Amino acid sequence: MTIRLRLALQFGMILAVILLLFALAIYFATLQSRRNLFTQSLFKRTLVVGHAYAEGHRNQHEASQHALYRRYLRQLYRTLPDEEGRVYDAADRLVFREGQGAAKPVPNAWLAEVRRNGRAVLEPEKNYHETVGLLYHDARLGPLVVVASSVDEDSRQQLGELRHLLALGLLAALVVMGGSSWFFAGRALRPLRRMVREVDGITATDLGQRLTQGAGSTDEIGLLTQRFNRLLDRLQAAFAGQRTFVRDASHELRTPLTALIGELEVALLQAERPPAEYRRVLQSTLDSARQLNQLTNGLLQIARASDDPSQVPMAEVQLDELLLQAHEQLLRRHATCRVDLDFGEGGDAGAGPFAVLGNETLLLSAVLNVLDNACKFSAGTGRPVTATLARSSTGIALQVTDEGPGLPAADLQQVFVPFFRAASARGVPGHGIGLPLAARIMALHGGTVRLESEPGHGTQVWLEWPLRHR
């Protein structure tokens, strides 16, 4: 069942139930009102019967009683269908009756109730027939019980017409409501149908298309369109980044592999070579293999840094100890590089002056990559690299400053793209994955990486961690 049909049926059923309850309320309110009016009319008839009997009794002539009764009835404009009037004396004997058909006996208990309460209904309206009784006082005859009964043919006819009218009106309303619900449900779902058609045209090879933003951009469908377009933006960026990453990674991996294969092919061209030549080939092959291993490890670290933070084990890490550990490993890589460490104010040492929540292995890789870049670009300048760790009221920051050639503003926008190599870094060993890896690791820990540089004035890199909330 389509949403349109389901909405039309639901709204149609709701309105049908409301209209049915409204029609029933109208019908039963009309029925009760006419019953009350008919009961009051019968009580007026009892007064007519009582007057007729009392006046006729004064004349002591039964015919005059009936004639007087009919004259009173004419004063009431018309008689009622199957109307009957009876009078009972103080001894509950039937002393007067006017009407057609056999008289039904009246229970003495009900006559006593009429005398006690002044009036009573013997037979509530059933099949539009009703019987009432009234206590009539006459100075000469004493208390009389006057009974009147009749059939409410007017109510029978009018209520029947009302039922037919309400039934036809309800049927017509259902037809109109069904058509209207179908029409308006179709109009409400029109943007969704357009979205379905547009989504069908979006493929993995063409993520540039976007859903059309309708006029009502603040309703639920408009918000859904905005969220879906933002999702497409992220998917397009992710696909583009993946294609770039695969292309650049393939290029970087091909370079050491080509060198490795070339050296081995050259070594096999001659049957016999001097031991020194074989040693040179093996050394070149080892260098290429190490370069390939280093690149592979970098790619694995980038993939790991892109994991879900909830899946990465976290623990308390002391950044000052981590910096010392990174400094020790850095000196093994760059024995001639001088790195000056500066530990600023640690602030409150309740949880350790430089304690953060993170993964020690990943954070060590981020710090080591930044220090390694600084040493590579400072090589040959004779100037030291400075690493300053400080804590402030907002967080902890590690600033690494080198005195290298610096970067132009255009290259600063690309340094966090994997495998990007600035023009000034062409002669420096590396693969362009150090800063992108550091940025992903910091993002995984809720931190940031900032970089400032000017050509000829070196580069400053900040690794910033937010303070832990206790």
Q: Which residue has the higher pLDDT, 449 or 75?
A: 449
Report pLDDT digits (tens) over 89-142: 888 888 888 776 566 778 888 888 888 888 888 766 667 888 888 888 887 888
Predicted confidence at residue 369, as pLDDT, reads: 84
pLDDT of 357 over the 80 cut:
yes
Rounded distance between C-alpha atoms, residue 347 and residue 390, angstroms: 9
- Angle CA(91)–CA(92)–CA(95) in degrees, nearest 5? 95
pLDDT tens-digit profile of 194-247?
Answer: 777 777 777 766 777 777 776 655 667 777 778 888 888 877 777 776 666 666
For 134-140, the CB contacts below 8 A with 24+ separation are 134/43, 134/46, 134/47, 134/50, 136/46, 136/47, 136/50, 136/54, 136/87, 138/50, 138/54, 140/54, 140/57, 140/58
- What is the per-residue pLDDT across 401-419, written as a single tens digit (0 to 9) for each? 988 788 877 777 777 776 6
pTM exceeds cut of 0.85: no
Alpha helices (H) in 386-447, listed in sequence order: 409-412, 434-444
Rounded distance, CA 2 to CA 79, Å?
A: 62
Q: Which of 44, 41, 129, 148 is nearest to 86 (CA)?
A: 148
End-to-end CA distance of the chain: 53
Please state, in angstroms and rounded to a whole number, the distance separating the CA atoms of residues 346 and 344: 6
Give the C-alpha distances (Å, rounded to integers) separating 459 from 123, 159, 391, 400, 429.
107, 96, 21, 8, 17
What's the pLDDT tens digit per position in 323-334?
Answer: 998 888 888 777
Element (H, E) at 227: helix 220-267
Mapped onto helix, strand or coil, the DSSP state of residue 254 is: helix
Label residue 348 by pLDDT band (50, 70, 90). very low
DSSP string over 386-400: EEEEEE-SSEEEEEE
Name which residue leads in pLDDT, 177 or 217.
177
List all residues 6 or more positions away from 426 whose beta carbon is below 8 Å from its beta carbon: none
Comparing CA positions, the residue from 77, 139, 144, 138 lying closest to residue 114 is: 144
CB 447 within 8 A of CB 378: no
Q: Is the pLDDT of residue 6 over 70?
A: yes
Handedness of CA 97, 100, 104, 106 (dihedral sign): negative
In this structure, of 145-154, 168-177, 405-414, the range with the lowest mean pLDDT score is 405-414
Q: Is the pLDDT of residue 351 over 50?
A: no
- Categorize the per-residue pLDDT at 29 as very low, low, confident or very high, splitting at 50, 70 and 90: very high
Gap between the Cα atoms of 151 and 99, Å rounded: 12
- The whole-number pLDDT of residue 25 equals 92
Q: Compute the average pLDDT of residues 73-81.
A: 57
User: What average pLDDT does the structure give for the chain?
Assistant: 77
Q: Which domains does the chain have, with CATH numbers?
A: 3-159 (3.30.450), 312-466 (3.30.565.10)
